[in-house]
Amino acid sequence: MTTNPYPPGFVWGVSTSAYQIEGAAAEGGRGPSVWDIRCRTQGGVVGGDTGDVACDHYHRWEEDVALMKGLGVDAYRFSVAWPRVLPRGRGAVNETGLDFYDRLIDRLLDSGIEPWLCLYHWDLPQALHDLGGWSSRDCAGWYADYAALCAKRYGDRVKRWITFNEFSVFTLFGYAIPWAAPGIVDRAQHLRAIHHVNLAHGDGVAVLRALVPDASIGAIHNRQIVIPETDTAENRAAAALLDEHWNLVFCDPQILGHYPPQTADHIEPYVQAGDMARIAQATDWFGLNHYGPIFAKADPSRVWGYGWGDAPPDSPTHGVGWAIFPDAFREELLTIQRRYRLPIVVTENGCGGSDVVEADGAVNDPHRINYLTIYNAAMRDAMAQGADVRGYFLWSLLDNFEWGSGYGQRFGLIHVDFATLKRTPKASSRWYADLMAQARAATSHP
Ligand code: FCB
């Protein structure tokens, strides 16, 4: 009996995002985003690192597409930088920025790699933040106009569209726990941001449907089981509220049409007649980013009374300290299947570390291969138990700017020397190429 669980057409890919790889922050007419400002705010990013140069993908994109072709991926998930195409977020369009993605998309297609275009990976134009950003209801309309610009420009060639990446990370860490741009700590602004981002998602789906009739549209949710650090009533209450903010306040309204219970009460002042229908537009698949579980604890010093706890002391962890817990991945896939009843695409999964180029030029990353092996096995178990998973995108193609951790945390299949920008495939890139080849062979010969 075959053990191959992959359905025909299963998509294997890699993911990146604009601010993490492009660099050229002040080139080609790009305007500043909230992350450019965050990097310049003291303490915003470890070591004072910035995305000014990053992987210099803006200039080295041809090499990067060639690397992907060599790897043998079916698809590439990338994001468009809103401030590169609309430097002030709305109004004047920057043709140079639009051209950059035209060239990238064309080269991907010529290379047999399907572009999966994500409209928003956290880089809100600073000019819009100055007008209120996601705290302002108007931001949904600004986003819809930006989505329309991209749909009209790229919709003839791009058929896979993603409205947002990880809604809860940039809203929670941007507006309640100050670990990301814009670094605000305020309950009301957090609630407003949640609701306005949901409206933007709904409007974005409607715009994409109207302008790209054959589009396949998804949204990317980071879902991670929230476990109380220790089993006390306070920690259980903390975990329950964090679970709403992290796992439910976007998926539930977008797919089920309502907010989860505690948030429904809190958010009511910001919800207007017709909003819930505007948010709950049908999508074609559920994008899941998953790395490991979260451990929560009561923390009265934080704005919502919860904070991040520690994994049990004996837990295996990534090089970057995240718990390795493949059962949570399997269960998450099954939970999503039961609760939301959409095909699932794993849009991010991967392993961080501090990989180095050795004397012989090799980059050996057995920790990553080990992590990916057990997480892929967990995904296959979930599929065997009924999870309808249609694709897997590994985070990430390249080592890159890892947000508040700067360049210290490397997630790439390809090592980047940030002094010379030289790319060196790691051992894990060979492992991934082999995995994809074996899966394809098994799929075509069941
Ligand atoms: C996810 C982000 C991605 C990257 C990985 C490690 O939360 O979507 O940009 O930072 O984590």
- Burial (CB < 10 A; 0-12, 13-18, 19+), residue 93, is middle
Q: On the CB side of 238, how many CA atoms lie within 13 Å of its CA?
A: 24
pLDDT at 3: 61
CA 329 from centre of chain:
16
331 catalytic residue (yes or no): no
Mean pLDDT of 173-189: 97
Mean pLDDT of 196-224: 98
Query: Is beta strand 414-416 parallel, antiparallel or unpaired with respect to 423-425?
Result: antiparallel
Segment 191-200, tens digit of pLDDT = 999 999 999 9
Which of 163, 113, 165 has the alpha carbon at shortest distance from 288? 165
Q: Which of 166, 229, 244, 332 is catalytic?
A: 166
DSSP label at residue 254: I
Site to substitute for ligand 1 among 55, 162, 166, most atoms within 8 A of C-beta: 166
Segment 97-135, tens digit of pLDDT = 999 999 999 999 999 999 999 999 999 999 999 999 999
348 catalytic residue (yes or no): yes
List of long-range contacts for 99-108, beta carbons under 8 Å, 24+ apart: 100/28, 100/58, 100/61, 101/153, 101/154, 102/153, 102/154, 103/61, 104/61, 104/65, 104/78, 105/154, 105/157, 105/158, 106/157, 107/61, 107/62, 107/65, 108/65, 108/68, 108/76
* 281 C-alpha to ligand 1 centroid (Å): 25
Nearest CA to ligand 1 atom 10: 402
* 290 C-alpha to ligand 1 centroid (Å): 9
CA distance 262 to 439: 43
pLDDT at 321: 84
**Ligand 1 pocket residues where CB is under 6 Å:** 17, 20, 165-166, 169, 222, 289, 348, 395, 402-403, 411
Mean pLDDT, all residues of the chain: 97
Site to substitute for ligand 1 among 402, 409, 413, most atoms within 8 A of C-beta: 402
* 177 C-alpha to ligand 1 centroid (Å): 17
CA distance 126 to 129: 5
* 268 C-alpha to ligand 1 centroid (Å): 30
* 411 C-alpha to ligand 1 centroid (Å): 9
Which of 399, 389, 422, 309 has the alpha carbon at shortest distance from 353? 399
Q: Are 319 and 352 in contact (CB under 8 A)?
A: yes
User: Is the confidence at residue 343, as pLDDT, over 80?
Assistant: yes
Q: Relative to the CA of 411, which ligand 1 atom is closest?
A: 6
Nearest CA to ligand 1 atom 2: 166
Segment 216-244, tens digit of pLDDT = 999 999 999 999 999 999 999 999 999 99
Q: Which residue has the tokens 């209801």?
A: 137
Q: Relative to the CA of 166, which ligand 1 atom is closest?
A: 8
pLDDT at 446: 55
* Band of residue 444 on the pLDDT scale cut at 50, 70, 90: confident
**In sequence order, what are the residues at sequence separation of 6 or more whose Cβ sits closer than 8 angstroms to the Cβ of residue 406?**
45, 46, 47, 48, 49
CA distance 171 to 245: 9
Q: Relative to the CA of 350, which ligand 1 atom is closest?
A: 6
How many other β-carbons are positioned within 10 Å of the β-carbon of residue 4?
A: 16
Segment 262-277, tens digit of pLDDT = 999 999 999 999 999 9
Q: Which of 22, 244, 332, 348 is catalytic?
A: 348
DSSP label at residue 182: T
% of the chain residues with pLDDT over 70: 99
CA 213 from centre of chain:
25
Query: E strand or H helix at 176, and its extent?
Result: none
CA distance 137 to 86: 19
pLDDT at 445: 67
CA distance 105 to 171: 29
Nearest CA to ligand 1 atom 4: 402
CA distance 105 to 236: 47
CA distance 13 to 76: 5
* Band of residue 42 on the pLDDT scale cut at 50, 70, 90: confident
pLDDT at 318: 83
pLDDT at 1: 42
* 180 C-alpha to ligand 1 centroid (Å): 12
* 429 C-alpha to ligand 1 centroid (Å): 19
* 424 C-alpha to ligand 1 centroid (Å): 21
* Band of residue 190 on the pLDDT scale cut at 50, 70, 90: very high
* 441 C-alpha to ligand 1 centroid (Å): 30
Q: Are 226 and 282 in contact (CB under 8 A)?
A: no
How far is the CA of 361 from the CAs of 62, 419, 427, 431, in angstroms?
Answer: 23, 16, 11, 18
